[in-house]
Structures are given as C-alpha cells and as structure tokens.
Amino acid sequence: MPLLSQSLPSQPRFLPFSQAKRRTPLVQPLSHTTCIKRHGFSVCLASSNSHSMASNLVELPIFPLPLVLFPGAMLPLQIFEFRYRIMMHTLLQTDLRFGVLFSNPMPSSTDPSSGTVEVGCVAEVVKHQRLVDDRFFLICKGQERFRISHILQTKPYMVAAVTWLEDRPPPDPKQGDDLENLASEVEGYMKDVIRLSNRLEGKKQDSQKADVDLRKGQFPTPFSFFVASTFEGAPREQQVLLELEDTAARLKRERDTLKSTLNYLSAASAVKDAFPSSP
C-alpha cells in the first residue's frame, strides 16, 4: 500500500551547480515523417517537406527511468552511462529539456506490455555540474506531460515524436467549485495520513505544524500532480495518475487511495495501542 513521502528530495551535497541556460531549442516541431519497422520499433525518418499531420508533433530526447516524474516535481539525477552523457552534451548546447518515461525494471511475465508506457513528463535541467570524468549531476524540474506518437531513433539514445498532454477542462464551469472542494478533501486525507504515519513511527507531534498548508495556494490540477508525486513506492499507480486527462478523476482516485491508506494506518495504530511494546 503506497504511503506518502513527506518531502521532496533535497538538493544533494555536490553543490554549487552551474546555472542552466537555454540556447537553441532542441524540442521543435517535426516535418513530415516516413515510418519503417526496425528492431521491433516504429522508427520514423523526417523529410524536408512539411505536412499537416505532423504539425502537432515535436521531437524530444527520451530518458527511460524506473520512476514517474510529475509536473512541478524536482528530480535530482546522476548521469554516468555513455549514451546519456552524449545526450547531456547535446542538451547543454540546446534546450535543456528531455522526456522522462517510466521504465518498469521488472515487467510482469504474464503481461509483457506492463514494462512499456507511452506517457511521460518533460524534465527541464535547472542546475547542473559536470565532473572531470564526464559524469553529470543534475537538478531537474517536471514540466508538461507528453504522449509518444512514434520513435524516431533508438541509438545512441532514444528520440521520439511526441504530442503534449493536458487535462480536459470541465464541460460545466460550475464544476470548478466541485474541483476546489475535492482538492480540499484530498488535502484533509493527506494531513490525516501524515499525522498517523508520524505517530506510528514515534515522531513527536508539533502542534504548530499539525495544520500545515499542503496546497500552498495551488490550483486543483497542479495540486493533483503534487499529491501523485508523494505516492512513492507505487510507480504503476503513479503512471495511471499521470496518464489521466481529467483533474477530477485524478483527485477522486487519489482520495480513494488516501482513504484506503488511512484505514490501514488506523488499524495499525489501534493494534499498537492494544499491544504496546514492552520497555
């Protein structure tokens, strides 16, 4: 059962970083493409003639990782593999943006597709440090979501043609108030889960922090991404939340997960009270 992480990853000790600066954009619209099958992938080659079908596609370097990145979340990374060091050298001269795609390190034997996803999140390099052995330390921030249309190349690193993914607006403007109420309900469950988790771990309750503002003024959609980012240890559930294109549906699923987690923690707390450990 996924439990909440109570803080985002702190910046590692390898500061100071070089402040990232954008140069020539690497993420750019694609011209018309011709697709061929190669090594089981649909690999597409761009031509010089533009085409309306490709007008919504952009080219994006892809970095598969065993995690799910969400818009607004911070991601510290160490780049040591040769092909991704090549990618970093390109990014530092261009747009400083690449796509993070969840890659399940242990796909199900009964469902081979469980290790493959099509929706990811753009990571923008905000700080970086290059070491003498050509490794890189990065601090990245999640930006917009994307959906892979097709693979353009697989070597030396993956590059894909992608479309941007956004939540659909509510059909009825009055549903905006419902989203606010739903977000407030989710925040309440989060506070209860954190409180019980701290109690079970023996942490002292700070009365001044008991009613901390978790939303911090966020609108429902970015708040729903923040909540999903705290479901560490449950990447498949996080991937489902990332792929949803409806803020209300995402918040409702998070509410149900938090309620289930809260019930589990409440039962564990009751057992602990009934059978306190001996000194």
**Residue 185 above 80 pLDDT?**
yes
Dump pLDDT digits (tens) for 157-179.
Answer: 999 999 999 999 887 777 677 89
Which pLDDT value is given to residue 5?
47
**Residue 18 above 90 pLDDT?**
no
**Residue 38 above 70 pLDDT?**
no
Domains within the chain, CATH numbers bracketed: 18-165 (2.30.130.40), 175-271 (no CATH)
SS3 assignment, position 84: helix
Which pLDDT value is given to residue 277?
66
Question: SS3 string of 101-169?
Answer: EECCCCCCCCCHHHHCCCEEEEEEEEEEEECCCCCEEEEEEEEEEEEEEEEEECCCCCEEEEEEECCCC
Question: What are the tokens at 2?
Answer: 């996924």
Which pLDDT value is given to residue 219?
94
Instruction: Provide the whole-model pTM.
Output: 0.78
**Residue predicted with more confidence, 15 or 270:** 270
Mean model confidence pLDDT for the chain: 80
Which pLDDT value is given to residue 105?
74
Rounded to an integer, the average pLDDT of 258-274 is: 87
Rounded to an integer, the average pLDDT of 48-53 is: 45
Peptide bond into 16 cis (omega under 30): yes
Dump pLDDT digits (tens) for 190-239.
Answer: 999 999 988 888 777 665 555 678 998 999 999 999 999 999 889 999 99
> How sure is the predictor about 94, in pLDDT bands with cuts at 50, 70 and 90?
confident
The Cβ of residue 244 has, within 10 Å, a number of other Cβ atoms equal to 19
**Residue 106 above 80 pLDDT?**
no
Which pLDDT value is given to residue 210?
57
SS3 assignment, position 93: coil
- Element (H or E) spanning 59, and its range? strand 58-65
Which pLDDT value is given to residue 41?
39
**Residue 14 above 90 pLDDT?**
no
- The number of C-alpha atoms within 13 Å of 87 and in the hemisphere containing its C-beta is 24
Bridge-based pairing of strands 119-130 and 159-165 is unpaired
Which pLDDT value is given to residue 272?
78
Of 209, 214, 185, the C-alpha closest to 5 is 214
Bridge-based pairing of strands 74-79 and 136-153 is antiparallel
Rounded to an integer, the average pLDDT of 255-265 is: 94
